[in-house]
Amino acid sequence: MRPNGRHTAGASQLPAIRVWAMCLLLLSAVAMSPTTARAAPSQAAAATTHVYLLRGVLNIFSLGLDTIGARLEAQGIPVTVANFVSWSSLANEAATAYRAGRIKTIILVGHSSGATALPDMIAKLNQLGVPVKLAIGLDSVFKTRLSTGAERYINIYIGDGPGEPVRPAAGLRGKLDNVDVRGTGVGHISIDKNEAIQRRVIAEIDAAIMRSRAPAPVAEPGAPRQARSAAAAAPRN
């Protein structure tokens, strides 16, 4: 009876063994297959986008923007990395390229005083009749007020540090998101260099480019400018 008993028990375990074998095969196939690529903009959409990255004071505290720029360029997205004091001339350059059809999607990123300058650059572009698809500020210092909008403005700041939430003016068009990252271990000097922050910035940029067929809201040319000048005083970085 034991041989039969052992045979019977073995037979009853065969379906379970087959299930485990199939699971192992599936897990192996998943492990060997390439990771699904993150959705990326098409080459045409990337080539007609320009991302302006504004560093903070002295050009030495915002070098994480250079890394972000290099990663974007690897995707075929043109970038300009400059100090925040260049925001006005960069706005003129962007407007000229937009009118000529060389740029269709404009995206702005700034760190520290570079983030504080973003509302001024957006306001000037809006006055020139040029829409801004996305703006991302990293720990904007001083009290930053957004009077004319990008289609979306993301302010990533450290609530218990020098950064400030961006405050919307009455009648602001466009979406404003204030994202407090206190408690995550990032500081004012390191926020632009943090890997998770960089990945989020690039993912937001990619998503905005893929939405670029929809027009961004833009103020009428010559509309009164209410944004406080961020270049009037150089904030501490």
Q: Coil, strand or helix: which one is 50?
A: strand
Tell me the average pLDDT across 129-139: 96
Look at residue 225 and tell me if it is in a domain: no
Contact 147, 226 (CB under 8 A): yes
Same-domain status, 78 and 157: yes
Same domain, 13 and 64: no
Q: Are residues 156 and 178 in the same domain?
A: yes
Q: Within this chain, do residues 68 and 156 fall inside the same structural domain, yes or no? A: yes
Give 65-123 pLDDT, tens digit per residue.
Answer: 999 999 999 999 999 999 999 999 999 999 999 999 999 999 999 999 999 999 999 99
Report the domain count for the chain.
Answer: 2
pLDDT digits 0-9 by tens, 24-41:
444 333 333 333 345 678
The pTM for the full model equals 0.74
| Same-domain status, 31 and 51 | no
Q: What is the mean pLDDT of residues 163-187?
A: 90
What is the average per-residue pLDDT within 8-36? Answer: 42
Do residues 30 and 53 share a domain? no
Task: Let me know whether 26 and 57 are in one domain.
Answer: no
Residue that wins the pLDDT comparison between 216 and 175: 175
Q: What is the extent of the structural domain holding 6?
A: 1-36
* CATH number of the domain bearing residue 95: 3.40.50.1820
